[in-house]
Structure 1
Amino acid sequence: MIILRMLLGRVLSLVPLLLGVTLFVFVVMRFSPVDPAIAALGDSNPTEAQLDQFRSENGLLDPWPVQYGRFVWQLLHGDFGTSVITKQSVGATISTALPLTIQLTLMGLVIAVVFGLLFGVVSAIFRDRWPDQVIRIVSLAGVAAPAFWIALLLVQWLAVGQGLFPTSGYISPQDSFGGWLNSMTLPAIALAAPVAAQLTRIIRTSMVEELDKDYVRTARGGGLPPVVVVGRNVLRNALVNPLTVLGLRVGFLLGGAVVIETMFALPGMGQNMIQAVKDGDTAKVQGFVITIAAIFVLVNLVVDILYVIANPRLRSRS
């Protein structure tokens, strides 16, 4: 019942949230200095009459509330609209670009969770000793370093310097799994590094709090091996708080993918979105943003459900 109530509340709150996102993007795009008519017809040196005709045919001369209402109406019917620049369906463009962004986000998430969990546990176990000091310095540097700067260092060291990875480009896993892994490794590491550093700090703090509790001392005094105490009890209890933070970090990964995809010339949502902003393509920008926002909300809903499952005290209290 708790989970069903949470699902119902989040689904109901999803509608005004996504409408607010579309309204915000719509208003921001209206202040863009880029004229979609000029962006679409600029190569042919159009006259003012041709520009006005283009704006009239594509509804760009309609009042803002009419344009926004048209977009919302199409959205309610599962239609993201049509790009006024490329004349292609926005939904078709999203279906092509979204899989790559999801691949990059999931790969970055796995790397962040694995290294954050490993370094966080080691740092807590060796508290105030040299492994803890080294990991704390590295994690603080990772939190302070932006993903794009880490990407530049990785390209300089491993791609240009050592030639181990390509500097840009994308290979589909259907064409070559090895080539896909090679083309996605550096972008995923650059995207995951700040998140891994943050998770390391959070997991270390949660682990230290659990290790200082009475039940841990009792378990150790009873002769239980440290591996059993840490793995079965301490780690499980310590991961409740990092689990809630992980949902927010997924949003960071989705947002960071916009920059990382552009730097590595990956044809995902990020590169398409930046090009749409340059072109003043409102329909495409709104479609991309609302898709990312919906994914972010759904991921946080899943994380909240896992939090209820992992926290028996919350269930018993309710």
Structure 2
Amino acid sequence: MIPTMVKFIAIRVLRAATVFFAVTFVTFAIVYANPAAIARNVVGISANDDAVRAEIVKLGLDRPLLEQYQHWLAGLIHGDLGQSYFTGQPVLTTLGIRFPVTLALMILSLVLTVVLSVLIGVSSAVRGGWPDRLLQFLSVIGGAIPSFIVAIGLVFAFAVALPLFPATGYVSPDVSIGDWAASITLPVLAILVGSIAGAAAQFRGAVKDVLDRDFVRTLRARGLSERAVIYRHVLRNAGGPGLTVLSLLTIGLLGGVVIIEQVFALPGMGSLVTDAASRGDVSVVMGCVAVTVLLVSVVNLVTDLLTTALNPKARAS
């Protein structure tokens, strides 16, 4: 049992490491493909060619690409992602300031999505009727409306028409918990509109599929209460597909958060990577990519472990 589990975890970790190295190397090759452009962004458009060549040497961009990547990777292992080419601030320090904002937004959105989508999806699958039809309708509407449209609508409704929440800005929880909650409420709601509708529909489908199986009819025939059938057996069997949905949802949230942070002017990873990419601050871009890939790898690994806990047969696959 234990060796099998260790082998399962080792394979998943090796797979995650392979994906991490592949994605970061390809990204590194793309963003560092034109050293002259990087150096010119740093020294200024009006700089002469000699200044650009001197900056290329100063930044180490004249070395072979593989050697540069190995140097970046060694720094990553030792907790050093280099410095911003424009501010001179260590990339790790910048990420330490920006990442908690994005992480708080994602965790709150994910927890609320899990709780509400499970409740709505299970209720829709079990009861059927108009709640089921309403969920299917809302899932289509929620998936069709872009998150930035929802965000703008929420700003007009609850920050302009009814000034209940701030339209933009972010307050750290260290300053005020109440102001922090107010500043993050509308961004979280903007994410939930699309995520809950889609996730609830997926949970509804997974539960519906399990309810149609023979063993559920057998359990009911033996006299088990409907509550016991649903919570002890149906949810356990529907948990695997549900976890897969949540894994994909978490990855999708990373893209949605970038847009939401721009709309609400939140100082998170979204605005950081957008600003860094627009001005050519490639060391910061690589730091953001590394954190993002690492986060996705951890989410996928945790999902695999939880799926295995619910269904030990998953180890064989």
* TM score, norm. by length of structure 1: 0.89
Residue matched to 1:220: 220
Residue matched to 1:141: 141
Tell me the CA shift for residue 79 of structure 1: 1.7
Residue matched to 2:10: 8
1:20 aligns with 2:22: yes
Aligned residues: 315
Residue matched to 1:106: 107
Map 1:16-55 onto structure 2 (within 5 A). Answer: 16-30=18-32, 35-42=37-44, 46-55=47-56
Residue matched to 2:94: 93
Residue matched to 1:239: 239
Residue matched to 1:307: 307
Which whole-Å CA distance do the structure 1 matches of 2:18 and 2:101 have between them?
28
Map 1:246-265 onto structure 2 (within 5 A). Answer: 246-265=246-265
Q: Is the Cα–Cα contact under 8 Å of residues 82 and 89 in structure 1 kept in the other structure?
A: yes
Secondary structure at 2:70 match in 1: helix
Which whole-Å CA distance do the structure 2 matches of 1:118 and 1:11 have between them?
32
Which whole-Å CA distance do the structure 1 matches of 2:68 and 2:302 have between them?
34
Moved more, 213-222 or 262-271: 213-222
Tell me the CA shift for residue 99 of structure 1: 1.3
Moved more, 199-208 or 209-218: 209-218
Residue matched to 1:202: 202
Tell me the CA shift for residue 85 of structure 1: 1.4
Q: Which runs of 5+ in 1 are unaligned?
A: none
1:162 aligns with 2:162: yes
Residue matched to 2:188: 188
* TM score, norm. by length of structure 2: 0.90
Tell me the CA shift for residue 31 of structure 1: 5.8
Which whole-Å CA distance do the structure 1 matches of 2:61 and 2:219 have between them?
70
Q: Is the Cα–Cα contact under 8 Å of residues 26 and 286 in structure 1 kept in the other structure?
A: yes
Tell me the CA shift for residue 47 of structure 1: 4.7
Residue matched to 1:57: 58
Which whole-Å CA distance do the structure 2 matches of 1:83 and 1:191 have between them?
30
Between the aligned residues of both structures, percent identity stands at 37
Which whole-Å CA distance do the structure 2 matches of 1:235 and 1:14 have between them?
28
Tell me the CA shift for residue 310 of structure 1: 0.6
Tell me the CA shift for residue 272 of structure 1: 0.9
Which whole-Å CA distance do the structure 2 matches of 1:10 and 1:313 have between them?
16
Secondary structure at 2:81 match in 1: coil
Tell me the CA shift for residue 117 of structure 1: 0.9
1:68 aligns with 2:69: yes
Moved more, 154-163 or 171-180: 154-163
Tell me the CA shift for residue 312 of structure 1: 4.2
Which whole-Å CA distance do the structure 1 matches of 2:201 and 2:265 have between them?
32
Which whole-Å CA distance do the structure 2 matches of 1:113 and 1:269 have between them?
23
Tell me the CA shift for residue 300 of structure 1: 1.0
Cα 1:295/1:170, change in 2 over 3 Å = same
Moved more, 168-177 or 27-36: 27-36
Tell me the CA shift for residue 48 of structure 1: 4.5
Tell me the CA shift for residue 296 of structure 1: 0.8
Q: Is the Cα–Cα contact under 8 Å of residues 34 and 279 in structure 1 kept in the other structure?
A: no
Which whole-Å CA distance do the structure 2 matches of 1:283 and 1:262 have between them?
21
The letter of the residue matching 1:74 is: G
Q: Which runs of 5+ in 2 are unaligned?
A: none
Which whole-Å CA distance do the structure 2 matches of 1:252 and 1:9 have between them?
25
Cα 1:33/1:153, change in 2 over 3 Å = farther
Which whole-Å CA distance do the structure 2 matches of 1:222 and 1:14 have between them?
44
Q: Give a deviation string over 1:183-202, Cα, whole Å, max 9, x none.
A: 11121222233332222121
Q: Is the Cα–Cα contact under 8 Å of residues 36 and 52 in structure 2 kept in the other structure?
A: no
Which whole-Å CA distance do the structure 2 matches of 1:89 and 1:99 have between them?
17
Which whole-Å CA distance do the structure 1 matches of 2:26 and 2:70 have between them?
14
Residue matched to 2:283: 283
Moved more, 62-71 or 16-25: 62-71
The letter of the residue matching 1:162 is: L
Q: Give a deviation string over 1:38-70, Cα, whole Å, max 9, x none.
A: 443449x64554444333322234443443333
Cα 1:232/1:16, change in 2 over 3 Å = closer
Moved more, 206-215 or 25-34: 25-34
Cα 1:314/1:25, change in 2 over 3 Å = closer
The letter of the residue matching 2:113 is: A
Which whole-Å CA distance do the structure 2 matches of 1:22 and 1:212 have between them?
44
Residue matched to 2:126: 125
Which whole-Å CA distance do the structure 1 matches of 2:73 and 2:35 have between them?
24
Tell me the CA shift for residue 107 of structure 1: 0.7
